[in-house]
Amino acid sequence: MKPLNHLEYYRLPWNYADNGISWLEPTTDCNLRCEGCYRDPRGPGHKTLDEVKADLEVFKKLRKSDCMSIAGGDPLVYPQIVDLVKIIKEMGWKPIVNTNGLALDETLLRDLKKAGVYGFTIHIDTSQKRPKVTAETENQLNDLRLHYAQMLAKVGGIACSFNATISDKTIDEIPGMVSWAQQHADIVHTMVFILFRSPEISGDFDFFVEGEIIAIEDTYKDTDWGGSHTLMAADAVAKIRQADPQYKPCAYLNGTADPSSLKWLLANRVVLNRDILGYFSPKFMELIQTVTHLLSGTYLAYADPKSIARGKMAAFFGGLVDRKMRSIFFKLLGHTIRNPGSILKPAYIQSLMIIQPVNFETDGRQDMCDCCPDITVHDGKLVWSCRLEELNKYGAFVQTVPKK
């Protein structure tokens, strides 16, 4: 496989103050325990609605965003989740609920839709001990994913994304999930693969807080499920290409220590009648982000189902401005000639995302996601959500130093 070269992709223009996404945590409570989760289930629980509003005001003061990811814990166990979605909508963000889906039913979904929910990112993987679910593999969980996708499609007008934490024990199942998503591109809009991390598999380091050595607590030690190998974006790319040899990323976010690292790696494919016509080019993604920011003042993160169904329009207008997009248009034309009945059928834009969390350089530097979209609020300041537990436990971020 050709090595991944970040310079071939569009570096998303998102930054600390002007980003596609922000991350809100109204609760630490959760009705499942996922391996690899970086949130302590023994946390303080629910914030008051006034406390959450104060966090939102911090975002409004310090950071532009297209979307507000409502996370936790699991936000669907938050007693005032419907009210919160309405507040976020009224403050000008697209409310995106990040949930395991366990508490979601059609009644709650309709209430959230009425309040203004824009989309869901539903976390499903084999690390979860779900009641009445006996699946032992990631691909056996595809029926459960389909259940939620069909529920969202029935209510209508809601973006549908799924994510899964991937370890070296489950990475071989990525091709099956990619193929499954392709078959359901009309209702499954995004698949996100989050690569497992644990300090135990990151190297031979000591951990310090403000000069004092500490022992990493058991909360961070999930290697029984996660395995012993630090996965990188290229590992996931190789597996995606087993299912979809056409796969081509178009955009990325790099790391804070290594500019060539691919912390968020985005690819958008156009699917017609379950056939893949091709992938967005970096230049076309740059055009989308630039025009969206000019017109709306924010960078685009989530699109609504109507926009996602405009793959033919994207192929046509993309082909006008970028030769790399013309191959999609010509494939669309050939597909229509061979299958005249498809002329009235929509082509869907489906995203595949790889997230490569923090990894440690040999000198101890922590390579974080530069311009992280999942920034949250802690004590009135913007901080990395994936490292919030360090602040809660120690009052400062943990530093890593190679052992002598």
Asked if the structure places residue 295 within a domain, the reply is yes
The whole-angstrom separation of Cα 186 and Cα 156 is: 12
Task: Tell me, yes or no, if the pTM score tops 0.75.
Answer: yes
Write down the residue that tokens 């190297």 correspond to: 203
| Residue 121 covered by a domain | yes
Spatial CA neighbour of 391 closest among 404, 382, 403: 382
Q: Is residue 194 part of a domain?
A: yes
| The two structure tokens encoding residue 169 | 């024990």
| Sign (positive or negative) of CA dihedral 172, 174, 179, 183 | positive
pLDDT at residue 221, as a whole number: 53
Enter the tokens of residue 129: 């001990």
Residue ranges making up the domain that contains 62: 16-402
Q: Are 71 and 385 in contact (CB under 8 A)?
A: yes
Number of domains in the chain: 1
Domain assignment of residue 91, yes or no: yes
CB within 8 Å of 50: residues ≥ 6 apart: none
Low-confidence ranges of the chain (pLDDT < 70): 1, 199-202, 217-224
Is residue 77 one of the residues assigned to a domain? yes
Q: At what angle do helices 174-183 and 233-243 cross, to 10 degrees?
A: 50
* Rounded Cα–Cα distance for residues 366 and 257 (Å): 7
Which sign, positive or negative, has the C-alpha torsion 52, 54, 57, 61? negative
Write the secondary structure of the chain as one string of H (helix), E (strand) and C (coil). Answer: CCCCCHHHCEECCCCCCEEEEEEECCECCCCCCCCCCCCCCCCCCECCHHHHHHHHHHHHHHCEEEEEEECCCCHHHCCCHHHHHHHHHHCCCEEEEEECCCCCCHHHHHHHHHHCCCEEEEECCCCCCCCCCCCCCCHHHHHHHHHHHHHHHHHCCCEEEEEEEECCCCHHHHHHHHHHHHHCCCCCCEEEEEECCCHHHCCCEEEEECCEEECCCHHHCCHHHHCCCCCCHHHHHHHHHHHCCCCCCCEEECECCCCCCCCEEEEEEEEECCEEEEECCHHHHHHHHHHHHHHHCCCCCCCCHHHHCEHHHHHHHHHHHCHHHHHHHHHHHHHHHHCHHHHHCCEEEEEEEEECCCEECCCCCEECECCCCCEEEECCEEEEHHHHHHHHHHCCCCEEEECC
Asked if residue 6 is part of any domain, the answer here is no
> Which residue in this structure is represented by tokens 């629910």?
46
Question: Tell me, what's the pLDDT at 223?
Answer: 53
Is 353 among the domain residues? yes
For residue 117, the one-letter residue type is V
Rounded Cα–Cα distance for residues 163 and 125 (Å): 8
Per-residue model confidence (pLDDT) at position 94 = 98
CATH of the domain at 95: 3.20.20.70
Contact between residue 197 and residue 228 where contact means Cβ atoms under 8 Å apart: no
pLDDT (tens digit per residue) in 135-174: 999 999 999 999 999 999 999 999 999 999 999 999 999 9
Please report whether residue 4 resides in a domain. no
Cα 94 off chain centre by = 15
